[in-house]
Chains A and B, each alone.
Chain A
Amino acid sequence: MSSRLETAFYDLGRLDLLAEQDSPIHRLDPRAKLITTLVFIVYVVSFDKYEIARLLPFFLFPAFLIGMADLPFGYLLRKMIIVSPFVLFIGIFNPFIDRQILLSFGTLQVSGGWISLVSILLRFLLTVGAALLLIATTGFPAICMALEKLGAPRIFAVQLLMLYRYIFVLIEEAIRMLRAHTLRSFSTKKMRYQVFKQMLGNLLLRTIDRAQRIHLAMLSRAFTGEIKIARRYNFSRQEIFYVFSLLLLFSCMRFFDISGLLGNLLLEFSS
């Protein structure tokens, strides 16, 4: 049990390390990356539920980011596979409910349910992939600050920042407690409910203590109730170019049937 928690912990740290890399994408202002990712996600989910072909061109964006930012594809894919069961369950019953035949290749007939299931999976890959890539190229703190600068309530941004800062401290504390438990529990592999309850309570108490100490540390640095963060980003011509060219591309892919056009073009050439 403890080992699984530890793996998750180091995995989270790995995402952090990726965000510290240096690449043209990493160097962009976080706001530019946040805006493009948000628009990308909205466009992807706005398609009709039977859409497959027109979703495919959208894979250009994640491919572009992975290439430009030099990110490990296998690692990101593994992260996505971990969440995929949840998505699979959203669409798993579609083939049984929606039996209307929409496509047929010779004798093989494909029902609307299967098509919408594939469409859901594609959308999952695109949206979750885009969000993951945003974190891997920007880093969680920078995203929070971008949110705040784009008008999200400050308290919300600060809460997220603190959450991210202390999740590491909290997990480390939990790991230490679990380790201490494992080392003294010998043959009993599973933790008894009684013990689990007490450990959780203990962790809560420690958290409250720490919160008090953090508050004290803030007070001794002239904290008056509002957290201020220095702005250090600048939205230059480069960012404007990045945002506009990508938004243009996304809009083309959203409002014109690019795969259809390419297909027609191909058919014309071959005939």
Chain B
Amino acid sequence: MSHHIVEVRDLEFTYPDSTRALQGLSFKIRHGESVAIVGANGAGKSTLLLHLNGYLTPTAGQVRIGDFPLTKETLQEVRRTVGMVFQDPDDQLFMSTVYDDVAFGPLNLGFPLAEVAMRVLKALETVGMAHLKDRPPHRLSSGQKRRVAIATVLSMSPDILVMDEPSAGLDPRARRQLIELLKTFKHSKIIATHDLDMVLDICERTIIINNGKIEADGPTVDIFQDEKLLDNCHLEKPLRLQSCPLCNPS
């Protein structure tokens, strides 16, 4: 078993309209590591995420997940290993009840029904949504939808959680609860986000992407101190690291 769970080597991707979205990215992520992917709008974050579960095929370079290089043959295994949570829960929750949605992955993986039921309940309990299992998704609040969306991948017991903007559109309390929930997970986590304060809470490592290239890769605390770097990449110091406007009016 390799030491690294995700390995991206010289990844390049060009969209059919010849937009060069990724221009040679390389990084490795260890077991249990939480990594934030940050960058300006259109920097290539989402394109990168779509490579991690084989939805997009690299123009050049390679992606390895666990022990497998990502190829057609390993695609199913990779998709079980990588749990992908999308930005809009309405895209992720496509079945008519919460239960069916969480059961979708395990059923596709061919687990026996008793096992499916167990996994569904366990996943829903983990995110605290077991009492809503018979609800249709359109009757849930945004925060509840987000939690159920996370449960839909937890039920496949992935090793890696990949999330696109998990805190977007949540009220402050729902956001805080989500952060606390994510902290309890032992999975390797890859989170693409603009919420740098959340990154400070969850991710010990940050990768900054700018124009399809890695601009910086290192400990979150160090990177967020480098104001010049952040400014270059359309980012800002997390609010908590900025000085208080009441104590030190500038």
Identify the A interface with B (CB < 8 A).
13, 16, 20, 139-141, 144, 161-162, 164-166, 168-169, 210, 213-214, 216-224, 227-232
Specify the chain B residue showing the minimal Cβ separation from A222.
B108
Asked if B66 is at the interface of the complex by the 8 Å CB criterion, the answer is no
Chain B residues near A227 (CB, 8 Å)? Answer: 104
Nearest 7 pairs of A and B residues by beta carbon: A141-B96, A221-B105, A228-B107, A222-B108, A168-B138, A213-B91, A220-B84
* B238 CB–A CB distance under 8 Å: no
Choose from B113, B138, B139, B156 the contact partner of A230 (Cβ within 8 Å).
B113
* B90 and A222 contact, CB distance less than 8 A: no
- Complex: how many Å from CA A129 to CA B79? 46
Instruction: Please tell me if the beta carbons of A165 and B79 are within 8 angstroms of each other in the complex.
Output: no
Bits for B69-91, please: 1 = Cβ < 8 Å to A, else 0. 00000001001101110101011
Please give the distance in Å from A144's CB to the nearest CB on chain B.
8
Partner of B136, one of A141, A216, A217, A223: A141
Known: A162-B94, A213-B86, A216-B91. 7 other contacts (CB 8 A): A140-B96, A165-B96, A216-B55, A217-B91, A220-B79, A223-B108, A229-B100
> What is the bound-complex CA distance between A204 and B108, given in angstroms?
30
CB A155 to nearest CB in B, in angstroms, measures 15
Query: What's the Cα separation between A223 and B100 when bound, in Å?
Result: 14
Total contacts A to B, CB within 8 angstroms?
89
Closest to B155 in A: A221
Verify if B97 is at the interface (C-beta below 8 Å from A).
yes
Q: Which residues of B in the span 131-176 have a Cβ within 8 Å of any Cβ on A?
A: 134-139, 152-153, 156
Q: How far is the CB of A220 from chain B (nearest CB, A)?
A: 4
Find out whether the CB atom of B108 lies under 8 angstroms from the CB atom of A228: yes
Do A230 and B116 have beta carbons less than 8 Å apart?
Answer: yes
Question: What 1/0 flags go to B167-210 for Cβ under 8 Å of A?
Answer: 00000000000000000000000000000000000000000000
Residue in A139, A141, A220 with the greatest tally of chain B CB atoms within 10 Å:
A220
Which one, A161, A219, A230, contacts B55 given CB within 8 A?
A219
Interface residues of B in 35-93 (CB under 8 A from A): 50, 53, 55, 76, 79-80, 82-84, 86, 88, 90-92
Q: Is the CB of B94 within 8 A of A218?
A: yes
Bound-complex Cα distance A216 to B164 (A): 13
How distant is the Cα of A221 from the Cα of B95 in the complex, in angstroms? 13
A144–B97 Cα distance when bound, in Å, is: 12
A220 neighbours in B (Cβ, 8 Å): 53, 55, 79, 82-84, 153
Question: In the bound complex, how far is the Cα of B136 from the Cα of A221, in angstroms?
Answer: 19
Chain B residue numbers with a CB within 8 Å of A140 are 96
Q: List 20 A-B contacts (CB under 8 A).
A: A20-B134, A20-B135, A141-B97, A161-B95, A161-B96, A162-B94, A165-B137, A169-B138, A213-B86, A214-B91, A216-B91, A217-B92, A218-B104, A220-B53, A220-B84, A221-B156, A222-B80, A222-B108, A223-B104, A232-B99
Instruction: Count residues of chain B with CB under 8 A from any CB of chain A.
Output: 38
Residues of A within 8 A of B76 (CB): 222, 224
Closest B residue to A173 using CB positions? B90
* Cβ B96 vs Cβ A230 within 8 A: no
Q: State in angstroms the CA–CA spacing of A20 and B153 once bound together.
A: 26
- Docked Cα-Cα span, A169 to B105, in Å, equals 22
Contact A229 B86 (CB under 8 A): no
CB proximity of A145 to chain B, nearest CB, Å: 9
Q: Are B96 and A217 in touch, CB under 8 angstroms?
A: no
* Shortest Cβ gap from B186 to chain A (Å): 21
Cα–Cα, bound, A168→B94 (Å): 12
Contact partner of A221 among B96, B104, B138, CB < 8 A? B104
Q: Are A221 and B79 in contact (CB under 8 A)?
A: yes
Cross-interface CB contact of A164 among B82, B96, B103, B108, cutoff 8 Å:
B96
Q: Is the CB of A165 within 8 A of B138?
A: yes
Q: Which residues of B contact A168 (CB under 8 A)?
A: 138
Pick from B50, B99, B105: contact of A222, CB under 8 Å: B105
Q: Report the bound CA distance from A169 to B82 in whole Å.
A: 27
Q: Which residues of chain B come closer than 8 Å to A224, judged between CB atoms?
A: 76, 108
Interchain CB contact under 8 A, B117 and A230: yes
CA distance A81 to B40 in the complex (A): 54
Q: A210-B91, A222-B76 are in contact. Are A165 and B53 (CB under 8 A)?
A: no
Interface centre among B83, B96, B99, B152 (most CB of A within 10 A): B96
Closest to A210 in B: B91
Taking the closest CB of chain A, its distance from the CB of B80, in whole angstroms, is 6
Q: Are B88 and A213 in contact (CB under 8 A)?
A: yes
Is B109 part of the binding interface, using a Cβ–Cβ cutoff of 8 Å?
yes
Closest Cβ of chain A to B72, distance in Å, is: 13
